[in-house]
Amino acid sequence: MKPVKAFRIHWAFVCAGLAFFALFATAADWPQFMGPARDGVSPETGLAHTWPSDGPKVLWTLPLGQGYASPSVRDGEVYVLDRVDQKQDVLRCLGLNDGKELWNFAYDAPGDLSHDGSRTAPTIDDKNVYTVGALGNFYCIDRKTHKPVWNKNLVADFGGEKPGWGVVQAPSLYKDLVIVSAMAKEGCIVVAYKKDSGEAAWKSEVLGVLGYSTPVVTKLAGVDQVVMVAACKKGGGSPGKVAGLNPDTGATLWSYDGFQCFIPIPYPTTLPDDRLFITGGYGAGSCMIQVKQQDGKFTVKEMFKTADCGSQIQQPLFYKDYLYINSNSNEREDGMMCMSLDGAIKWKTKDSWFTTTFERGPLMLADGLIYNLDGKKGVLYLLDPSPAEFKKIAELKVLGGKEIWSPMALSQGKLLVRSQSEMKCLDVKTP
Protein backbone atom coordinates (compact mmCIF):
# COMPACT_ATOMS: atom_id res chain seq x y z
CA MET A 1 0.00 0.00 0.00
CA LYS A 2 1.35 3.39 -0.92
CA PRO A 3 2.17 5.69 2.04
CA VAL A 4 -0.24 8.47 0.94
CA LYS A 5 -3.15 6.05 0.49
CA ALA A 6 -2.39 4.41 3.83
CA PHE A 7 -2.36 7.81 5.52
CA ARG A 8 -5.73 8.71 3.98
CA ILE A 9 -7.33 5.47 5.17
CA HIS A 10 -5.85 5.92 8.65
CA TRP A 11 -7.06 9.53 8.81
CA ALA A 12 -10.55 8.47 7.69
CA PHE A 13 -10.74 6.05 10.63
CA VAL A 14 -9.48 8.74 13.00
CA CYS A 15 -12.12 11.21 11.78
CA ALA A 16 -14.86 8.60 12.07
CA GLY A 17 -13.74 7.78 15.61
CA LEU A 18 -13.64 11.43 16.61
CA ALA A 19 -17.10 11.98 15.15
CA PHE A 20 -18.46 9.02 17.11
CA PHE A 21 -16.77 10.24 20.29
CA ALA A 22 -18.19 13.74 19.81
CA LEU A 23 -21.68 12.33 19.38
CA PHE A 24 -21.28 10.16 22.48
CA ALA A 25 -19.81 13.01 24.51
CA THR A 26 -22.58 15.48 23.72
CA ALA A 27 -25.56 13.15 23.98
CA ALA A 28 -27.01 12.36 27.39
CA ASP A 29 -29.65 10.25 29.06
CA TRP A 30 -32.71 11.72 30.76
CA PRO A 31 -33.11 8.98 33.39
CA GLN A 32 -35.52 10.64 35.80
CA PHE A 33 -38.00 13.46 36.32
CA MET A 34 -36.53 16.78 35.09
CA GLY A 35 -33.34 15.26 33.75
CA PRO A 36 -29.92 14.05 34.94
CA ALA A 37 -29.64 16.57 37.80
CA ARG A 38 -33.40 17.08 38.28
CA ASP A 39 -33.03 20.75 37.34
CA GLY A 40 -34.65 20.73 33.89
CA VAL A 41 -31.23 21.15 32.24
CA SER A 42 -29.72 18.82 29.64
CA PRO A 43 -25.93 18.71 29.09
CA GLU A 44 -26.44 17.95 25.39
CA THR A 45 -24.92 20.17 22.74
CA GLY A 46 -25.14 20.26 18.97
CA LEU A 47 -28.80 21.27 18.98
CA ALA A 48 -30.37 23.39 16.26
CA HIS A 49 -30.37 27.08 17.19
CA THR A 50 -33.00 27.86 14.57
CA TRP A 51 -35.79 25.89 12.93
CA PRO A 52 -37.03 25.69 9.36
CA SER A 53 -40.47 27.14 8.65
CA ASP A 54 -42.14 23.76 9.18
CA GLY A 55 -40.27 23.20 12.46
CA PRO A 56 -38.17 20.23 13.59
CA LYS A 57 -39.00 16.84 12.09
CA VAL A 58 -41.47 14.62 13.96
CA LEU A 59 -39.73 11.23 14.12
CA TRP A 60 -42.62 9.27 15.62
CA THR A 61 -45.94 9.56 17.43
CA LEU A 62 -47.33 7.17 20.05
CA PRO A 63 -50.96 7.10 21.30
CA LEU A 64 -51.19 7.16 25.10
CA GLY A 65 -53.89 7.12 27.74
CA GLN A 66 -54.89 10.28 29.53
CA GLY A 67 -52.24 11.65 31.84
CA TYR A 68 -49.40 13.95 32.81
CA ALA A 69 -46.49 11.55 33.36
CA SER A 70 -43.36 12.61 31.53
CA PRO A 71 -41.02 10.08 29.90
CA SER A 72 -37.54 9.12 31.07
CA VAL A 73 -34.74 7.86 28.80
CA ARG A 74 -31.72 5.62 29.39
CA ASP A 75 -29.55 3.63 26.98
CA GLY A 76 -31.76 4.46 24.01
CA GLU A 77 -34.92 3.26 25.78
CA VAL A 78 -37.90 5.47 26.61
CA TYR A 79 -39.91 4.63 29.73
CA VAL A 80 -43.34 6.15 30.34
CA LEU A 81 -46.04 5.28 32.86
CA ASP A 82 -49.43 5.09 31.16
CA ARG A 83 -52.90 4.75 32.73
CA VAL A 84 -55.69 2.97 30.88
CA ASP A 85 -59.45 3.39 31.44
CA GLN A 86 -59.07 4.16 35.17
CA LYS A 87 -58.33 0.44 35.64
CA GLN A 88 -54.65 -0.24 35.03
CA ASP A 89 -51.24 1.38 35.23
CA VAL A 90 -48.91 0.33 32.40
CA LEU A 91 -45.16 0.90 32.27
CA ARG A 92 -44.15 1.04 28.60
CA CYS A 93 -40.60 0.69 27.28
CA LEU A 94 -40.05 2.10 23.77
CA GLY A 95 -37.18 2.40 21.36
CA LEU A 96 -35.99 6.01 21.29
CA ASN A 97 -35.25 5.95 17.57
CA ASP A 98 -38.58 4.61 16.30
CA GLY A 99 -41.05 4.70 19.22
CA LYS A 100 -41.84 0.99 18.89
CA GLU A 101 -42.89 -0.73 22.10
CA LEU A 102 -40.20 -3.14 23.28
CA TRP A 103 -42.11 -4.43 26.32
CA ASN A 104 -44.61 -3.38 28.96
CA PHE A 105 -45.60 -4.24 32.49
CA ALA A 106 -49.21 -3.69 33.62
CA TYR A 107 -50.98 -4.07 36.95
CA ASP A 108 -54.54 -3.51 38.09
CA ALA A 109 -55.15 -0.14 39.74
CA PRO A 110 -58.88 0.63 39.56
CA GLY A 111 -60.02 4.00 40.82
CA ASP A 112 -61.18 7.46 39.83
CA LEU A 113 -59.13 10.63 40.07
CA SER A 114 -59.76 14.29 39.60
CA HIS A 115 -57.85 15.11 36.37
CA ASP A 116 -57.47 11.40 35.69
CA GLY A 117 -54.39 9.76 34.27
CA SER A 118 -50.78 8.95 35.06
CA ARG A 119 -48.76 11.43 37.09
CA THR A 120 -44.96 11.25 37.21
CA ALA A 121 -41.87 10.03 35.38
CA PRO A 122 -40.14 6.71 36.08
CA THR A 123 -36.65 6.73 37.59
CA ILE A 124 -34.11 4.42 35.90
CA ASP A 125 -30.79 3.02 37.05
CA ASP A 126 -28.59 0.40 35.40
CA LYS A 127 -30.76 -2.52 36.57
CA ASN A 128 -34.24 -1.33 37.49
CA VAL A 129 -37.08 1.08 36.79
CA TYR A 130 -38.88 2.69 39.75
CA THR A 131 -42.41 4.00 39.23
CA VAL A 132 -45.22 5.38 41.38
CA GLY A 133 -48.77 5.14 40.07
CA ALA A 134 -51.54 7.62 40.77
CA LEU A 135 -53.07 5.36 43.43
CA GLY A 136 -49.76 4.95 45.28
CA ASN A 137 -48.54 1.68 43.74
CA PHE A 138 -44.75 1.81 44.01
CA TYR A 139 -42.95 -0.74 41.80
CA CYS A 140 -39.37 -1.72 41.17
CA ILE A 141 -39.20 -3.45 37.75
CA ASP A 142 -36.22 -5.38 36.43
CA ARG A 143 -35.15 -3.94 33.05
CA LYS A 144 -34.00 -7.35 31.74
CA THR A 145 -36.76 -9.68 32.92
CA HIS A 146 -39.51 -7.01 32.78
CA LYS A 147 -40.89 -8.39 36.03
CA PRO A 148 -41.39 -6.77 39.43
CA VAL A 149 -38.55 -7.07 41.93
CA TRP A 150 -40.72 -5.66 44.72
CA ASN A 151 -43.70 -3.38 45.20
CA LYS A 152 -45.27 -1.23 47.92
CA ASN A 153 -48.23 1.10 48.27
CA LEU A 154 -47.52 4.61 49.52
CA VAL A 155 -51.11 5.05 50.74
CA ALA A 156 -52.25 1.70 52.15
CA ASP A 157 -48.91 0.83 53.76
CA PHE A 158 -49.06 3.97 55.90
CA GLY A 159 -52.77 4.05 56.74
CA GLY A 160 -53.32 7.22 54.74
CA GLU A 161 -55.87 8.42 52.25
CA LYS A 162 -55.39 9.01 48.55
CA PRO A 163 -55.04 12.75 47.86
CA GLY A 164 -57.75 14.19 45.62
CA TRP A 165 -55.43 14.42 42.62
CA GLY A 166 -53.70 11.14 43.31
CA VAL A 167 -50.18 10.28 44.42
CA VAL A 168 -47.55 12.38 42.66
CA GLN A 169 -44.08 11.00 43.34
CA ALA A 170 -40.97 10.71 41.15
CA PRO A 171 -38.54 8.47 43.09
CA SER A 172 -35.11 9.88 43.97
CA LEU A 173 -32.04 7.62 44.12
CA TYR A 174 -29.24 8.00 46.66
CA LYS A 175 -26.52 5.40 47.14
CA ASP A 176 -28.43 2.12 47.69
CA LEU A 177 -31.71 3.89 48.55
CA VAL A 178 -34.81 5.00 46.67
CA ILE A 179 -36.62 7.91 48.33
CA VAL A 180 -40.24 9.09 48.06
CA SER A 181 -42.90 10.81 50.12
CA ALA A 182 -45.60 8.59 51.61
CA MET A 183 -49.27 9.46 52.14
CA ALA A 184 -49.31 8.60 55.85
CA LYS A 185 -52.30 8.87 58.16
CA GLU A 186 -50.48 11.39 60.33
CA GLY A 187 -49.40 13.59 57.41
CA CYS A 188 -46.51 14.12 55.02
CA ILE A 189 -43.45 11.98 55.67
CA VAL A 190 -40.46 11.05 53.54
CA VAL A 191 -39.48 7.38 53.38
CA ALA A 192 -36.49 5.45 52.01
CA TYR A 193 -36.29 1.85 50.82
CA LYS A 194 -33.35 -0.35 49.83
CA LYS A 195 -33.24 -0.17 46.04
CA ASP A 196 -32.77 -3.86 45.36
CA SER A 197 -34.92 -5.42 48.08
CA GLY A 198 -37.60 -2.88 48.97
CA GLU A 199 -36.65 -3.18 52.63
CA ALA A 200 -37.64 -0.08 54.63
CA ALA A 201 -34.55 1.93 55.57
CA TRP A 202 -35.96 5.00 57.34
CA LYS A 203 -38.84 7.41 57.59
CA SER A 204 -38.82 11.08 58.53
CA GLU A 205 -40.82 12.94 61.11
CA VAL A 206 -44.15 14.44 60.03
CA LEU A 207 -43.39 17.59 58.04
CA GLY A 208 -46.91 18.87 57.38
CA VAL A 209 -50.06 18.02 55.48
CA LEU A 210 -50.07 15.71 52.45
CA GLY A 211 -49.18 17.46 49.20
CA TYR A 212 -47.96 16.83 45.68
CA SER A 213 -44.28 17.73 45.86
CA THR A 214 -41.60 15.08 45.60
CA PRO A 215 -38.34 14.90 47.61
CA VAL A 216 -35.16 15.83 45.77
CA VAL A 217 -31.56 15.01 46.68
CA THR A 218 -29.15 17.94 46.60
CA LYS A 219 -26.04 19.30 48.33
CA LEU A 220 -26.22 22.31 50.65
CA ALA A 221 -23.50 23.65 52.96
CA GLY A 222 -21.27 20.84 51.72
CA VAL A 223 -23.66 18.12 52.87
CA ASP A 224 -25.87 15.76 50.85
CA GLN A 225 -29.50 16.06 51.90
CA VAL A 226 -33.07 15.37 50.87
CA VAL A 227 -35.15 18.53 50.52
CA MET A 228 -38.93 18.29 50.83
CA VAL A 229 -41.82 20.78 50.75
CA ALA A 230 -44.82 19.76 52.86
CA ALA A 231 -48.24 21.37 52.58
CA CYS A 232 -50.02 23.51 55.12
CA LYS A 233 -53.69 23.05 55.94
CA LYS A 234 -55.95 25.33 53.91
CA GLY A 235 -57.30 28.06 56.13
CA GLY A 236 -54.53 27.62 58.70
CA GLY A 237 -54.20 25.55 61.82
CA SER A 238 -51.56 23.14 60.56
CA PRO A 239 -48.44 24.71 59.01
CA GLY A 240 -46.13 22.98 56.57
CA LYS A 241 -42.35 22.94 56.42
CA VAL A 242 -39.58 23.05 53.90
CA ALA A 243 -37.02 20.68 55.39
CA GLY A 244 -33.60 19.24 54.73
CA LEU A 245 -33.17 15.60 55.80
CA ASN A 246 -30.15 13.40 56.32
CA PRO A 247 -30.32 11.02 53.32
CA ASP A 248 -28.79 8.15 55.30
CA THR A 249 -31.11 8.31 58.32
CA GLY A 250 -34.06 10.63 57.54
CA ALA A 251 -33.25 12.87 60.51
CA THR A 252 -34.20 16.53 60.07
CA LEU A 253 -31.14 18.75 59.57
CA TRP A 254 -33.06 22.02 59.29
CA SER A 255 -36.54 23.36 58.56
CA TYR A 256 -38.13 26.59 57.37
CA ASP A 257 -41.76 27.61 57.90
CA GLY A 258 -41.77 30.89 55.99
CA PHE A 259 -43.26 29.29 52.86
CA GLN A 260 -46.83 28.08 53.26
CA CYS A 261 -48.71 26.46 50.38
CA PHE A 262 -51.71 24.20 50.80
CA ILE A 263 -51.07 22.48 47.45
CA PRO A 264 -47.28 22.46 46.87
CA ILE A 265 -46.13 20.86 43.62
CA PRO A 266 -42.68 22.16 42.51
CA TYR A 267 -39.70 21.18 44.66
CA PRO A 268 -37.03 23.77 45.61
CA THR A 269 -34.47 24.82 43.00
CA THR A 270 -30.86 24.58 44.21
CA LEU A 271 -28.79 27.70 43.51
CA PRO A 272 -25.16 28.76 44.12
CA ASP A 273 -24.07 29.77 47.63
CA ASP A 274 -26.27 27.15 49.30
CA ARG A 275 -29.49 28.87 48.32
CA LEU A 276 -32.91 27.40 47.50
CA PHE A 277 -35.64 29.06 45.45
CA ILE A 278 -39.10 27.88 46.49
CA THR A 279 -42.27 28.61 44.53
CA GLY A 280 -45.91 27.58 44.38
CA GLY A 281 -49.38 28.50 43.25
CA TYR A 282 -52.60 29.16 45.14
CA GLY A 283 -51.31 32.49 46.46
CA ALA A 284 -48.16 31.04 48.04
CA GLY A 285 -45.78 33.17 45.95
CA SER A 286 -42.03 32.53 46.07
CA CYS A 287 -39.07 32.92 48.39
CA MET A 288 -35.35 32.28 48.59
CA ILE A 289 -33.48 30.88 51.57
CA GLN A 290 -29.83 30.18 52.34
CA VAL A 291 -28.70 27.15 54.34
CA LYS A 292 -25.50 27.33 56.36
CA GLN A 293 -23.67 24.90 58.62
CA GLN A 294 -21.24 25.50 61.47
CA ASP A 295 -19.95 22.82 63.81
CA GLY A 296 -22.61 20.42 62.58
CA LYS A 297 -25.50 22.82 63.23
CA PHE A 298 -27.60 24.16 60.36
CA THR A 299 -29.18 27.59 60.12
CA VAL A 300 -31.61 29.00 57.57
CA LYS A 301 -31.63 32.62 56.43
CA GLU A 302 -34.54 34.05 54.45
CA MET A 303 -33.16 36.11 51.55
CA PHE A 304 -36.45 37.42 50.18
CA LYS A 305 -40.13 36.69 49.70
CA THR A 306 -42.35 37.86 46.86
CA ALA A 307 -46.00 37.65 45.94
CA ASP A 308 -45.20 38.74 42.36
CA CYS A 309 -44.06 35.30 41.19
CA GLY A 310 -45.53 31.86 41.64
CA SER A 311 -45.41 28.66 39.58
CA GLN A 312 -48.28 26.33 40.35
CA ILE A 313 -46.93 23.23 38.59
CA GLN A 314 -43.66 23.60 36.69
CA GLN A 315 -40.08 23.73 37.94
CA PRO A 316 -38.13 26.99 37.36
CA LEU A 317 -34.91 26.98 35.31
CA PHE A 318 -31.62 28.50 36.49
CA TYR A 319 -29.21 29.81 33.85
CA LYS A 320 -26.31 32.24 34.14
CA ASP A 321 -27.39 33.90 37.40
CA TYR A 322 -31.07 34.22 36.47
CA LEU A 323 -34.25 32.23 37.00
CA TYR A 324 -36.69 31.62 34.16
CA ILE A 325 -40.18 30.71 35.36
CA ASN A 326 -43.65 30.12 33.97
CA SER A 327 -45.32 32.21 36.67
CA ASN A 328 -48.84 30.92 36.22
CA SER A 329 -51.46 29.51 38.58
CA ASN A 330 -55.21 29.37 39.10
CA GLU A 331 -55.44 32.91 40.41
CA ARG A 332 -53.14 34.70 37.94
CA GLU A 333 -51.09 34.31 34.79
CA ASP A 334 -48.02 36.50 34.42
CA GLY A 335 -46.56 34.36 31.66
CA MET A 336 -42.89 33.52 31.41
CA MET A 337 -40.72 35.56 33.75
CA CYS A 338 -37.03 36.31 34.24
CA MET A 339 -35.92 36.99 37.82
CA SER A 340 -32.53 37.91 39.25
CA LEU A 341 -31.31 36.16 42.37
CA ASP A 342 -32.21 39.13 44.55
CA GLY A 343 -35.88 38.73 43.59
CA ALA A 344 -36.03 41.55 41.02
CA ILE A 345 -38.26 40.76 38.03
CA LYS A 346 -36.37 41.66 34.85
CA TRP A 347 -39.31 41.01 32.50
CA LYS A 348 -42.49 39.01 32.10
CA THR A 349 -44.28 38.21 28.88
CA LYS A 350 -47.60 39.53 30.20
CA ASP A 351 -46.17 43.05 30.01
CA SER A 352 -44.33 42.60 26.70
CA TRP A 353 -45.21 42.49 23.02
CA PHE A 354 -45.53 38.74 23.37
CA THR A 355 -48.92 38.11 24.93
CA THR A 356 -48.79 34.30 25.24
CA THR A 357 -48.68 33.24 28.90
CA PHE A 358 -47.62 29.59 28.31
CA GLU A 359 -50.32 28.68 30.89
CA ARG A 360 -49.04 25.73 33.00
CA GLY A 361 -46.83 24.26 30.31
CA PRO A 362 -43.30 22.87 30.90
CA LEU A 363 -39.93 24.37 30.05
CA MET A 364 -36.43 22.94 29.60
CA LEU A 365 -32.88 24.23 29.05
CA ALA A 366 -30.34 22.67 26.68
CA ASP A 367 -27.33 23.95 24.72
CA GLY A 368 -28.02 27.55 25.75
CA LEU A 369 -31.65 27.34 24.56
CA ILE A 370 -34.96 27.22 26.37
CA TYR A 371 -37.80 25.05 25.08
CA ASN A 372 -41.16 26.28 26.41
CA LEU A 373 -44.36 24.39 25.62
CA ASP A 374 -47.64 26.29 25.87
CA GLY A 375 -49.87 24.24 28.17
CA LYS A 376 -53.10 25.47 26.57
CA LYS A 377 -52.30 25.72 22.86
CA GLY A 378 -49.66 23.01 22.39
CA VAL A 379 -47.22 25.40 20.70
CA LEU A 380 -43.53 24.70 21.31
CA TYR A 381 -41.29 27.78 21.47
CA LEU A 382 -37.53 27.94 21.00
CA LEU A 383 -36.13 30.81 23.08
CA ASP A 384 -32.84 32.60 23.63
CA PRO A 385 -32.55 33.12 27.42
CA SER A 386 -31.65 36.72 28.20
CA PRO A 387 -32.25 38.92 31.25
CA ALA A 388 -32.53 41.94 28.94
CA GLU A 389 -35.73 40.88 27.19
CA PHE A 390 -37.87 37.98 26.02
CA LYS A 391 -36.30 36.58 22.84
CA LYS A 392 -38.24 34.18 20.66
CA ILE A 393 -36.31 32.29 17.98
CA ALA A 394 -39.00 29.99 16.53
CA GLU A 395 -42.31 28.28 17.26
CA LEU A 396 -44.25 25.22 16.12
CA LYS A 397 -47.68 23.81 16.90
CA VAL A 398 -46.87 20.27 18.04
CA LEU A 399 -49.76 19.04 20.21
CA GLY A 400 -53.52 19.42 20.54
CA GLY A 401 -56.02 19.07 23.33
CA LYS A 402 -55.93 20.65 26.76
CA GLU A 403 -53.81 20.54 29.94
CA ILE A 404 -50.54 19.91 28.12
CA TRP A 405 -48.61 19.98 31.38
CA SER A 406 -46.32 16.98 31.14
CA PRO A 407 -42.61 17.91 31.46
CA MET A 408 -40.45 17.21 28.42
CA ALA A 409 -37.44 14.92 28.05
CA LEU A 410 -34.36 15.14 25.80
CA SER A 411 -31.85 12.48 24.78
CA GLN A 412 -29.59 12.06 21.74
CA GLY A 413 -31.00 15.22 20.18
CA LYS A 414 -34.56 13.87 20.40
CA LEU A 415 -37.12 15.94 22.28
CA LEU A 416 -40.10 14.09 23.76
CA VAL A 417 -43.37 15.95 24.32
CA ARG A 418 -46.79 14.61 25.29
CA SER A 419 -50.42 15.62 25.48
CA GLN A 420 -53.43 13.91 27.05
CA SER A 421 -53.60 11.47 24.15
CA GLU A 422 -50.18 11.04 22.54
CA MET A 423 -46.41 11.44 22.79
CA LYS A 424 -44.23 12.80 19.99
CA CYS A 425 -40.50 12.62 19.35
CA LEU A 426 -38.93 15.65 17.62
CA ASP A 427 -35.48 15.78 16.05
CA VAL A 428 -33.94 18.99 17.44
CA LYS A 429 -30.30 18.29 16.50
CA THR A 430 -28.35 20.58 14.23
CA PRO A 431 -28.90 19.19 10.70
Give tens-digit pLDDT for 100-149: 999 999 999 999 888 999 999 999 999 999 999 999 999 999 999 999 99
Q: Residue 245 has what pLDDT?
A: 98
Q: What are phi and psi of 140, to 5 degrees?
A: -110, 120
**Could you tell me which of 84, 45, 87 has the C-alpha nearest to residue 63?**
84
- Name the domain boundary from 102, 120, 151: 151
Kindly state whether residue 365 falls inside one of the protein's structural domains: yes
Kindly state whether residue 374 falls inside one of the protein's structural domains: yes
- Name the domain boundary from 125, 151, 177: 151
- Contact (CB, 8 A) for 398 and 424: yes
Q: How many domains does the chain have?
A: 2
Kindly state whether residue 92 falls inside one of the protein's structural domains: yes
- Name the domain boundary from 151, 173, 206: 151
Kindly state whether residue 236 falls inside one of the protein's structural domains: no
Query: Which residues form the domain of 117?
Result: 69-151
Kindly state whether residue 198 falls inside one of the protein's structural domains: no
Bridge partners of 227, per DSSP, are 216, 244
What's the CATH number where 77 sits? Answer: 2.40.10.480
pLDDT classification of 6: cutoffs 50, 70, 90: very low
80-105 average pLDDT score: 97
- Contact (CB, 8 A) for 140 and 127: no
Kindly state whether residue 333 falls inside one of the protein's structural domains: yes
What's the CATH number where 383 sits? Answer: 2.40.128.630
Question: Which of residues 427 and 162 earns the better pLDDT score?
Answer: 427
Cα–Cα distance measured from residue 303 to residue 342, given in angstroms and rounded to the nearest whole number: 8
**Could you tell me which of 55, 52, 46, 13 has the C-alpha nearest to residue 27?**
46
pLDDT classification of 12: cutoffs 50, 70, 90: very low
Cα–Cα distance measured from residue 168 to residue 132, given in angstroms and rounded to the nearest whole number: 7
pTM over 0.85: yes
Kindly state whether residue 284 falls inside one of the protein's structural domains: no
- Decide: helix, strand or coil at residue 142: strand
pLDDT classification of 26: cutoffs 50, 70, 90: low
